[in-house]
Each structure stands twice: as C-alpha cells, then as structure tokens.
C-alpha cells in the first residue's frame, strides 16, 4: 500500500494532536505535494486533475496466521481527490474510468495476540511485507466480498499504472464504544514506481515521486470479525482512508516518523 495533511490527510502521513474521529487519517511527513493525473494519456476517458491527496475506500481481509502473525489482502478504491483538504473535481472518475490499488501484505503483532479480544484491549504491530499495484480500469469498478475474500469487478479493460513495495509500516486496533467495537488503523511508507509506458498518466511532476505514504482508519461500523480467536480468525474492512504524495524525503525521516506512530496514536486515543 494508501502516494499527508489535513492533520487529516492521507497510499499515507501527518499525525494530529487530537483524538481520532471515525474515518479520519493523519499524515506525518512534510506538507503533501501536488501532482497531476492525465487519464487520456493511457487511453482512459477522463479529464486531467491536479491534487495533493487521494481519498480511498478500503475493502480488505486481515486473517491471523499464527499467535502473532497475520496476512492482509484487498483493494483500495480511489473515491476522490483533494487539494488543501478541499475536494476537487476529477471528471470521469468512477464513471468512465476507475482507479484502485490491489495489495497483499503480511505482518506481526508486538502487543496482543490472535486470541486478544480486540473490543477490550488495544493491539499494535508491524507490517513486514507489502506489494501493491495501482490499476486503471475503463468504466466504473465495483468492490465487495465473495464470502470473506475481497473482490473487484472492473467496468472494462484494466491496466497496471504503477507498482510498489513496503519501506516501513505499522498497524494497530483500538477499542471504542464502551468496549463493544474496535477501530483498526495502519500507516505505511512505500516505494512508488511508475509502470513502463504509463508515464503520461503521471504528468506532473516529472519525474514523478518515488515514495508515498498511506494512512487508513476504518469506522467501527465498517469492521466485521470472523472466527473465535486464534489462527484463522480475523476481520474484514469496508472503510475509508487517504493517500498523499509527500515531497521527497529521506528513508531515515520516514522510519523516524513511523517509529513514533504507535505511541503517538495510543496516547491521543486513550
């Protein structure tokens, strides 16, 4: 996975100094940098759009594979774009063309286990691996689940616009609503590589950014648990999030930002 600020922001970073409202995301690196997408350059029917934040909807499955290990797969549908926290019009998006990320990752918990009641106790963990592709599709793609498996139905032909891998990332869950539900969240820094022949879509800046940050926080009402604890149990998510493309920063700064995420989030959420 998010490629933030609104102290909500968002394929990910700025952390705020107040409690997290449902569906909010925070970004911790420099102010989001502007970028321009030009769909027509790759045969998609849509107007060029300039933004600094990408709004996402998360359709994913997190399954515990061991006492403290988990896998995470799914899709991040791009639902809109913003500049300075204000929505901008992306003509054709989610009508004549669609954009979404497809991802697969693994990780492990550093606080809690697969038997922890997520409604009663917070957990924290680290993302160990992550690979993703940014897909462009003709028409309006739809997302959902086949049982517990997230699925996408593209409206037409698809193409890979970019790919990436993990640089650093964290996950956590926090009990809410009087210990009757929980909120999952994640933050990651990722490498971002434009696919061969697709440079025209990413028309500004040139060359395009090679790192991105993603922050996802899902409302408790979008989380559904399955299983009774232990390996094989987990939860599915249909929620929100944002993606920003930060100014180029060093990997050291990214690592430092993410290393403080769990403590910062825990302190502000308690």
Q: Is residue 217 part of a domain?
A: yes
Contacts of 14 (CB under 8 A, 6+ apart): 4, 5, 6, 7, 26, 27, 28, 29
Q: Is residue 43 part of a domain?
A: yes
Question: The domain containing residue 66 runs over which residues?
Answer: 13-269
pLDDT of 212: 84
Q: Is residue 8 part of a domain?
A: no
* Distance between CA atoms of residues 223 and 62, nearest Å: 11
| Both structure tokens of 236 | 């599915």
- CA separation (Å) from 46 to 34, 140, 228? 19, 12, 46
pLDDT of 266: 44
Q: Is residue 6 part of a domain?
A: no
DSSP state for residue 118 in the 8-state scheme? T
Q: Other CB atoms closer than 10 Å to residue 96's CB: what's the count?
A: 17
pLDDT of 113: 98
Total domain count, the chain: 1
Contacts of 250 (CB under 8 A, 6+ apart): none
114, 67 contact by CB (below 8 A) = yes
- CA separation (Å) from 126 to 45, 111, 136, 173, 191? 39, 10, 29, 12, 17
Q: Is residue 4 part of a domain?
A: no
pLDDT of 240: 57
Average pLDDT per consecutive 10 residues, the chain (270 residues; last block may be shorter): 32 28 31 86 98 88 98 93 89 97 97 98 97 97 95 96 95 96 91 96 93 84 94 89 45 43 44
Answer whether 0.85 is exceeded by the pTM: no
């Amino acid at each position: 996975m998010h490629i933030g600020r609104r102290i909500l922001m968002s394929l990910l970073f700025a952390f705020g100094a107040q409690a997290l409202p449902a569906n909010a995301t925070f970004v911790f690196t420099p102010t989001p940098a502007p970028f321009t997408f030009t769909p027509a350059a790759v045969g998609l029917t849509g107007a060029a759009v300039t933004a600094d934040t990408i709004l996402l909807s998360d359709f994913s499955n997190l399954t515990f594979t061991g006492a403290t290990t988990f896998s995470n797969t799914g899709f991040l549908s791009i639902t809109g774009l913003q500049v300075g926290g204000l929505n901008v019009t992306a003509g054709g998006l989610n009508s004549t063309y669609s954009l979404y990320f497809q991802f697969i990752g693994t990780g492990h918990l550093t606080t809690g286990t697969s038997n922890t009641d997520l409604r009663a106790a917070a957990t924290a963990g680290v993302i160990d691996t992550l690979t993703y592709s940014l897909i462009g599709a003709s028409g309006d793609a739809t997302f959902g689940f086949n049982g517990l498996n997230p699925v996408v139905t593209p409206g037409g032909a698809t193409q890979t616009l970019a790919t990436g891998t993990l640089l650093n990332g964290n996950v956590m869950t926090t009990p809410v609503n009087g210990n009757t539900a929980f909120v999952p969240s994640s933050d990651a820094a990722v490498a971002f590589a434009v696919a061969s022949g697709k440079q025209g879509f990413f028309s500004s800046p040139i060359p395009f950014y090679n790192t991105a940050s993603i922050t996802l926080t899902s409302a408790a009402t979008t989380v559904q648990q399955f299983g009774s604890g232990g390996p094989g149990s987990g939860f599915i998510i249909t929620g929100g999030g944002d993606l920003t493309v930060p100014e180029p920063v060093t990997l050291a700064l990214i690592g430092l930002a993410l290393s403080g995420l769990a403590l910062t989030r825990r302190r502000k959420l308690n």
